[in-house]
Amino acid sequence: MTTNTTPTNTALLPLPTPAARAATATGAAIALAGTFLAWTWTAEFPGNLTVTGYPGGLQVLTLISAALTLLLTLSGYGIKGLHWLTPGGANSPVRLASLGTLGTTGFTIGAISAKLGGIVNLEPGAWISATGALIAVTASLGLPHDQELPHTTRPTPLNRFLNSLRAPTPQRAKELPSWAEILIIAAAFGVALHVFTYGIDTEYAELFIGYIICVAFAFTALTRAGLIARITHLTAKHRNVTLAAALIAAFCFPFTQQNEEYALIGANILIFATVALGLNVVVGLAGLLDLGYVAFLGVGAYAAALVSGSPLSPVGVQFPFWAAVLTGAAASLVFGVVIGAPTLRLRGDYLAIVTLGFGEIFRLTVNALNGVSGPDLTNGSQGIPSIPDLNLFGFDFGISHDIAGFTLGRSANYYLLMLVFTAAVVLVFRRSGESRIGRAWVAIREDETAATAMGINAFRLKLLAFALGATLAGLAGTVQAHVSYTVTPEQYQFAGSVPPNSAFLLAAVILGGMGTLSGPLVGAALLYLIPAKLQFMQDYQLFLFGLALMLLMRFRPEGLVADRRKQLEFHENDQLDVPAEDTPPTRKTAGTTKAGA
């Protein structure tokens, strides 16, 4: 009789150790329950953590992390209605979510102790949540690793009960109707808008740090669970719907803000993100390392400031806004061609050094055009102040407006204007990347010698990418000049404490994901929002910035939002030639089986 040692594929996903999973769920439930109790006896710690029955401040973040841990733990049983959270049936998301709960709770306890003077200021609710989070983390370590899930499980009474709640997990995700997929995309962007708005609305540094810890672990857990990949597949399938949903979510942001400061952060994030997307054309698509890109932003801003009617402008003219926009874009385009034509025959580090020199030359030149060291054109270090607010078709951007019951202030007005520019830049980037020219840029980036051998005019296409990137930066600079009221040389450095600058722009592209559409937008939002919220760490900003880049290059060199090519390039050694569960028996195993028969 022949013994078949090949595992069958008809069984449901295996149940990991029931005791470990039950303990993890219990710990998460305890941590969640502790958020409804007081964590401190005094209201001196921000967030009012003294109320029983109503979580506030950092308690809300612990509640969210504990709830996510509980849901991921229960979804591992395949319970109907929850199995969609972990389509891959993995256990690592449970560990990550439980670590997020412990991290958020531990940080809150540490912040309370540091601010109020010791752990004596903690109430029982904090200890209950910390104990529950510690139980959840410890128990989750007892769950089998993702690659070591057994194919069979001992049929204990608990397993038989849970099997009655399980929903069969298909080998392939079930196809949904198009309307359902569109609703999922809309819901995903709604959640993203809420999460982003919550981060901007954080009123104190402790809450923002807890927010970063919670979001980082939650996003990583959902990524490991496969849920983010499923949503990404839907967005790639419905690209036009995805772009429309993203624009609608971004349009709704200023209507959620009552604080002008937070709306201004949103407007500056859009400016930073738009410039980063323009740099992505140069670096991400064409593979040209540009370390002086912020100078093109400065050229557009100065050109618009000179012709926008500032009383201190040496030019003394006032163009309508559309003409000022064209002036800024044209000036950046000219500078892009003038700088790129003699330098783009260089490659690699040599090109980076030349572009870095151009950025410094621009800053020193506008600083010298003060009427003393040179012609009086830019007022030197004083810059061009008092740039008037825009007035388009009777709509004054400098005053508040009531629209549908919502009050939009000056910052919200400029945010919506910048959103229009961002949409235009996104359209240009998308069309360029998908065109014949975009494919030629990618070929040059991968191997310029091979691309030239195939008949591609590398110099002309690189100059086109350089000029297009400069033009997009100039467009953003025209709006930045009006948002900030003034332009000065110190705003356009290679590296500084306040973005945008060339170093942060390049980091935004690398952090988000080179060559992708949404990557630079995500990277720019993170790199602008974190310094804006953690101003007390300004002296250590560059140190933390360098540390973050080191960790990113070590653990995710392809960026937060990476395309398939980059993932395969950086993780080719991690790919399995044949999945383990589909590996046929070896010749030795087959021979042994035959002999046993």
Structural class in CATH, domain 260-516+523-533: mainly alpha
pLDDT (tens digit, 0 to 9) for every residue of the chain, 597 residues total?
444 444 444 344 444 468 888 899 999 999 999 999 999 988 888 888 888 888 988 999 999 999 999 988 888 666 665 666 666 557 788 889 999 999 999 999 999 999 888 888 899 999 999 999 999 999 988 887 765 444 444 445 545 444 444 434 434 556 778 888 889 899 999 999 999 888 888 888 889 999 999 999 999 888 888 888 888 888 888 888 888 898 899 898 888 887 788 888 888 889 988 998 889 888 888 888 888 888 899 899 999 888 888 888 888 788 888 888 899 999 999 999 988 888 888 887 888 888 888 888 888 888 888 777 777 788 888 888 888 888 887 788 888 877 777 788 888 888 998 999 899 888 888 888 888 998 999 898 888 888 888 888 888 999 999 999 999 999 999 988 888 888 888 888 877 666 677 888 888 888 888 878 888 888 888 888 888 887 777 677 777 777 877 887 777 777 777 766 666 666 555 544 444 444 444 444 443 433 333
What is the Cα–Cα distance from 36 to 584, expressed in whole angstroms? 53
Tell me: cis bond preceding 93? Omega within 30 of 0 counts. Answer: no
Backbone angles phi, psi at 315, to 5 degrees: -75, -40
For 203, the enclosing helix (H) or strand (E) is none
pLDDT score at 381:
80
Confirm if 180 and 237 have CB atoms less than 8 A apart: no
Place of tokens 């000049």: 481
Give start and end residues of each alpha helix (H) in 201-320: 205-225, 227-237, 239-252, 260-280, 294-306
Assign residue 386 a region: left if phi > 0, alpha if psi is -120 to 50, beta otherwise?
Answer: left
Q: At a CB cut-off of 8 Å and minimum separation 6, what does 326 contact?
A: none
| Residue 166: strand pairing partners | 79
Whether residue 369 contacts residue 376, with contact meaning beta carbons closer than 8 Å, is answered with yes
pLDDT of 494: 78
Q: What type of residue sits at position 582? A: D
Give the Å distances, CA to CA, from 355 to 299, 444, 542. 15, 19, 21
| 169/38 Cα distance (integer angstroms) | 41
- Return the sign of the alpha-carbon dihedral for residues 212, 560, 282, 321: negative
Q: From its phi and psi, is residue 47 left (phi > 0), alpha (psi between -120 and 50) or beta?
A: left
> pLDDT at position 80, please?
60
Q: How far apart are CA 457 and CA 448, in angstroms?
A: 10
C-alpha 400/C-alpha 414 separation (Å) is 11
Euclidean distance between CA atoms 268 and 263, whole angstroms: 9
Q: In this structure, is the dihedral angle defined by the CA atoms of residues 250, 72, 580 and 11, taken in order, positive or negative?
A: negative
Are 59 and 35 contacting, i.e. CB atoms less than 8 angstroms apart? yes
CATH 1.10.3470 residue ranges for the chain: 260-516+523-533
Largest CA distance in the chain: 100
Question: Given the structure tokens 């040179």, which residue do they identify?
Answer: 374
**Segments in 1-153 forming alpha helices (H):** 18-34, 58-75, 92-116, 124-140
Distance from the first to the final alpha carbon of the chain: 5
Query: Which tokens belong to 181?
Result: 């997929």
Number of neighbours of residue 56 by Cβ within 10 angstroms = 14
